Amino acid sequence: MEVDWAWFRRNKVDNNKNTFDLLMVQLERSNDFKDLTKTFNGQELSFGFYSTLVDSDILHKEILKRITENQFLSLADILNILPLDEIEITSNLSTIQDKLLSGYVMIYKKDAPKEVLLAKASAEKTRTVSLPEVEFSVVGPKEALVESLDTNINLIRKRVPLPDLISDEVTIGDLSKTRVAVMHIEGIANKDNVQTLRQRLLDLEVDMITDSSYITQLIQDNANSPFPQLIDSERPDRLASALAEGKIYNISSKRVFDITKPMTNQDITIKINLKGIVREFSGKEINQPIIKKIQSQWEKQLEEQSKIMITDFQRNGIDPLGIGKEMKSRTRKWDEKKWKDLYPNLNIHIKVTAEILETGVIE
């Protein structure tokens, strides 16, 4: 699926059609956009900014403190007060939008919002010499996500500077009170999927969430499926690319256990029926012979990967596929000790049957 950049051009702020109030409504859809009002010497000033993009030290020490210590009557007076290099007064809505997404603070009077003062206060949050530990890349960015949610959102927003990049924050964990952000680009991401993901997060009843891997395990459709349904990533460039492309791969699976003689050394076959959709194809034409070839390669690859994974499960004495549970349901006199002795040496086979339901974009 190609990005519909025309959508962004159509929805970009148009100074002739949009108003300042509409721009504020658009910006305030994200939890990390703040619109604060403070009183200085009897005059009210409002400050709009993205908290994940702005350096709080610059905001408090160079902007708020200077305004508090000096007299002013207009935005022009404030412009002369602030000791910042990149600062300007404008009424251009497109400029306001772009500057805010670059880490600027917007200063304005709510009773006269035709003009605003924009002061650069961007936070440069980057790792020093740290590399991604899991998703190593020979070329390209060497930044990885960290433990701070604000820093992570900063890394993503720098790569996708769009007001339609929505950050919706929820809190999970009765004890840990972990902040979790659901980010998507409005107009590209499927609204139903976004709402489903958010609802699953809100429905979680857990004490502690220490990292994203816990969430992945808790919200996936089938915890016993050997195939990934959600993808973890530590690279902001990869996340930014996924957000921009808005790709969604629909795969449904069903498994059947073929166990002829429970609690013996007989072979066990797990039959998996997969149905999927080809979203993109880089060839000239996709026809039935090619579809059959894709299905065959898909089946072979999944069977090989599954065999490696199951062997690893047996070696470590873990059973996330629930084979023991299935065996127990077919055995009258269940012997847990005997099962633990048998499990590491069982011959477990995977038989995958794949079916392509439909095809998508052909490049």
Would strands 348-362 and 268-281 be described as parallel, antiparallel, or unpaired? parallel
pLDDT of residue 89: 93
Is the overall model pTM greater than 0.85, yes or no? no
Give the H/E segment covering residue 22.
helix 20-27
pLDDT of residue 2: 44
pLDDT of residue 197: 83
Q: How far apart are CA 192 and CA 285, in angstroms?
A: 31
Q: What does pLDDT average to in each consecutive run of 10 residues of the chain (363 residues)?
A: 46 61 88 91 91 90 91 90 90 90 91 86 62 53 69 84 86 80 84 84 82 74 64 76 58 49 65 68 68 83 85 84 77 79 85 70 41
**If 0-12 CB within 10 Å is exposed, 13-18 middle and 19+ buried, where does residue 166 land?**
buried
For CA atoms 128, 134, 139, 145, the dihedral sign is negative
Q: Which residue has the tokens 């952000």?
A: 181
Q: How far apart are CA 101 and CA 89, in angstroms?
A: 17
CB atoms near residue 168 (< 10 Å): 17
Tokens of 243: 């957000």
pLDDT of residue 254: 46
pLDDT of residue 223: 62
Q: How far apart are CA 145 and CA 92, in angstroms?
A: 34
pLDDT of residue 301: 84
Q: Which domains does the chain have, with CATH numbers?
A: 5-120 (no CATH), 149-245 (no CATH), 251-362 (3.30.300.210)
Distances (CA, A) of 225 to 217, 275, 325: 11, 14, 14
